[in-house]
Amino acid sequence: MPLIRTDNSYQTVITTFEMTPGTCQDLLDELTSAYEEFISKQPGFIAAGLHVNDAQTRIANYSQWKRREDFQAMLRSQEMRKRNRRINELCKGFEPVMYEVAGTFD
């Protein structure tokens, strides 16, 4: 489960995907498969979540990693490069961006 706190040293990656409603479920299936079969088993992986907007035109992905290098190594792997080619076919585009937690509110 993601832990969102300003005092942790984790790397947070938020990736947004833009697609059509017709490919939303296919893309969600690909992302779910990637997390269940590969990403969640990589060194440094902590947790992730997938969010779909009401119109099914965007998916937001939130993931946490122990170190920036862990996330980068996962992205550079042959397995993830192969999966990203398929993911790219199902959406108009996607962009992973690394963030630090600046504030939390209860």
Tens digit of pLDDT for each residue in 73-92? 999 999 999 999 999 999 99
Structural domain count, the chain: 1
5, part of any domain: no
105, part of any domain: no
84, part of any domain: yes
Tokens 């990693």 correspond to: 65
Q: What is the pLDDT of residue 106?
A: 77
CATH of the domain at 36: 3.30.70.100
65, part of any domain: yes
How distant, in Å, are the alpha carbons of 10, 23, 30, 73, 100 from that of 91?
Answer: 28, 7, 11, 23, 26
Full residue range of the structural domain in which residue 44 is found: 11-99
23, part of any domain: yes
106, part of any domain: no
39, part of any domain: yes
Q: Which residue has the higher pLDDT, 102 or 32?
A: 32
Distance between CA atoms of 94 and 67, rounded to whole angstroms?
Answer: 22
